[in-house]
Structure 1
Amino acid sequence: MIEILPSSTTSQISSKLAQAHAERGEASQGRVLTLLVSTSERELENVLATAIQASQEHPSRVIAIVTDRTEAPDMTTLPAVAVGTVAPLDAEIRLGSDGGAGEVIVLRPAESLLRHLDTLVLPLLVPDAPVVAWWSSSTPASPSTSLLGSMTRSRITDAQMTADPMATFLTLREHHTVEETDLAWTRLTVWRGLLAALVDEPPHTEIQSVTVRGNSHSLSVDLLGAWLAWALKVPVSFEVDEHVSAVRGVVFHRTDGDSVIERPSDASSDLFITKPGQMKQTISVPHRTLGDCMTEELRRLDPDEIYNAVLTEGWDMISHDHWTTQR
């Protein structure tokens, strides 16, 4: 069910949502968190599909704020909104199959309201539930001090999806707090698990250095290299492969030969593992979706100490020259 609320106020949205819950015999107190999403009109439906997928495990109230509304309604016909000024706010409420295991509120504030997002969103939060913010593309320089981020327990960015991923990521790193993470790191969860298992398997011969293979403009490649440098305390170099979109593979250079784990192409769901003196192994590892990554992040709202260490220590242990020289 989708209910359109043109020229609305937060009070009207709350009343309509309460009425809909009463008619359906539901209670908003069953929501485990509120997910605030800053997005664009073009990305809205894909972002909501991701949030709804994640809500199957984490029943949530999703509040999506469309930040690029450009229409200019007739101001004389619009009511005063919650922030006390006459400004337009269009909204939608989505429930049932359109709202996942929770509900979705879509806000389309005019530009004047974008300067008061905290006041706009506050009445719509689920009481006594943690609040998480997700910026699906463009991100503030300092999420923790932004209007949305300042009211949240956890903040999720996706620097890879911005116009200049590395510049965005470096700015985020400069203002990083332990409550923040980036999906470029989350996309590495399976890789990190497989690499940790490979290191732990006998024979435990010394790892002298590591080579990471992947796209020269993937933040995940750099973060994987930074994690390996931090965890193993060995030199890490990069081998550029522009035929893949992110990580292609990792080579552990050991005293008795190379141990290699790699995916032959983006189209393949298989990974090949090669170790000295052993037959090549093949394991099936499907690509992670954006929904998989968001579900993981909503499952863990506590600070990620490993990610924090990679940013503060590991990032400076590797060279990022491949990012600029291959441009």
Structure 2
Amino acid sequence: MIGLWDTTGNEVVKALAAERRSAGGVASGLALTLIAVVEEKKVREAEAAATIAASAHPCRLLIVVRSDLDGRSRLDAEIVVGGRLGPAEAVVMRMYGRLALHAESVVMPLLAPDVPVVSWWHEEPPNMIANDFLGVVADRRITDSAQAPDPVAALRQRAIDYAPGDTDLTWTRITLWRSLVAGAFDATEARVIGAKIVAPAKDPTAWLMLGWLKARLNIEPTMEHTDRSPRLHSVELQCENGDYVRVTREEGTALFSRSGQEDRYMPLPRRAVGDELAEELRRLDADQIYADALGAMAGVAGLDHRLPMRVHVWKDPTLAARAAAPTDAMAG
């Protein structure tokens, strides 16, 4: 590992090039550049997740940590090639002061040549991705609405702000659920006429499951809130011929119930963030099924017809905070 304190972007580029030369073949064959926008307390989590994802998708990992926007501009960087991160190159950049608002000035020269760029927010997702140049420059953008104070509201905002190429780890977390529900109809052609989802009121995965069922089956699922489970608890489908299919989460498994058949247990493990991230990195094109589900959930039509490219819209959060300060003082 190389540590550079109070350095410049040019010095980081030189140090990465030198480390790549010394690492030799370890740094070859990069599949993509992964830009991770992370809170300081989650840097190690992001590194651990990227290590898992890099085992399937060797990448250059650029971790951006923004702090103290009103302080002195400074850049500290750590460079790791191979080693604890496996087949990945990593640059952890801690940016302070006004530099943090222009992270692209340091990040852009570090992008791996001729490979796709993916931006991943391992923190509360931005309200508008166009306000962050690190999202505008990316071919694919991964958020996690579950990290917002109000996850369901954050997921609805993802629909308002959507552009093809966006995705959310909330969607990835119901992959196994969707597989179980869809697999129930491999041996029947009975039409589904209703669905009921049991989950906590603020579980975004449950609402996205509702959107998926609504979009794919052209029905209006109902939501039943519960405090029995911290996550999506069960999904039940009612068929036109009177049959039902129910998938219920138990500890690490799913109880699969179907009218006229014996109950079965199926695997339903809780996956690590790195596994979820690796799944999303398998595809670099727009996910139309996700767009349909998100639009149906939020009541926003035509998401997949929007333009895939965003235009950067500059926003200075420090100015917004200063403008609000006098109002807060008068209110006090």
Query: TM exceeds 0.5?
Result: yes
Does residue 91 in structure 1 map to residue 74 in structure 2?
A: no
Instruction: Identify unmatched segments of 5+ residues in structure 2.
Output: 301-332
Deviation string for 1:229-249 (max 9, x for gaps)?
111112200122223222111
Shift of 1:116: 1.1
- Separation in 1 of the partners of 2:190 and 2:197? 19
Following superposition of structure 1 onto structure 2, how do residues 232-251 of structure 1 map, counting pairs within 5 Å?
232-251=217-236
Alignment of 1:211-290 (within 5 A): 211-254=196-239, 255-264=241-250, 268-290=251-273
Q: Residues 33-182 of structure 1: matches in 2 within 5 Å? A: 33-69=32-68, 87-182=73-168
Could you tell me the TM-score, scaled by structure 2's length?
0.85
Post-superposition offset of 1:39: 0.7
CA–CA distance in 1 between the matches of 2:132 and 2:167? 15
Matched residue type, 1:207: V
Q: Which residue of 2 aligns with 1:18?
A: 17
Q: Render the CA deviation track for 1:162-182: whole Å, top value 9, x for unaligned.
A: 122233222222111011011
Partner letter of residue 217 of structure 1?
A: K
The alpha-carbon deviation at position 70 of structure 1 amounts to 7.3
Q: Which amino acid aligns with 2:174?
A: L
Are the structure 2 counterparts of residues 67 and 243 from structure 1 closer, same or farther at C-alpha, using a change threshold of 3 Å?
farther
Partner residue of 1:303?
286
Match of 1:83 in 2: none
8 Å Cα contact 1:118-1:151 kept in structure 2: no
- The structural deviation recorded for 1:310 is 1.6
Q: Which stretch shifts more, 166-175 or 288-297?
A: 166-175
- Which amino acid is 1:25 matched to? G
> Which residue identity does 1:125 align to in structure 2?
L
What is the CA distance between 1:213 and its match in structure 2?
A: 1.4
Give unmatched runs, 5+ long, in structure 1: 76-86, 318-327
Measure the CA separation in 2 of the matches of 1:26 and 1:274: 51
The two structures have a TM-score, normalised by structure 1, of 0.86
> Equivalents in 1 of 2:195, 2:25: separation in Å?
54
Residue type at the aligned position of 2:175: T
The code of the aligned residue for 1:123 comes to P
SS at match of 1:263: strand
Q: 1:294 aligns with which of 277, 280, 286?
A: 277
Which of 195, 204, 207 aligns to 2:192? It is 207
1:244 is paired with a residue whose SS is: coil
- CA deviation profile, 1:7-26 (whole Å, cap 9, x unmatched): 11121112111212222223
State the SS of the aligned residue for 2:190.
Answer: coil
- What is the alpha-carbon distance in structure 2 between the residues aligned to residue 24 and residue 71 of structure 1? 38
Aligned residue type for 1:154? R
Per-residue deviation at 1:67? 1.5
Distance 1:278 1:191 in 2: 20
SS class of match (2:86): coil
- Give the residue type in structure 2 aligned to 1:233: N
Mapped to 2, the partners of 1:139 and 1:256 lie a distance apart of 42
Residues 69 and 100 of structure 2 are in contact (CA less than 8 Å); yes or no, is this contact kept in structure 1?
A: no
The 2-side partners of 1:221 and 1:167 are apart by 13
Asked whether the equivalents of residues 144 and 155 of structure 1 are also in contact (C-alpha less than 8 Å), the reply is no
CA distance in 2, matches of 1:96, 1:66: 21
Larger RCO, structure (CA 8 Å, separation 6 or more) = 2
Q: After TM superposition, give the deviation of residue 253 of structure 1 in Å.
A: 1.5
Please tell me the residue identity of whatever aligns with 1:251. E
The alignment's C-alpha RMSD in Å is 1.9
Distance 1:50-1:69 versus aligned 2 partners, 3 A rule: farther
> How much does 1:144 deviate?
4.0
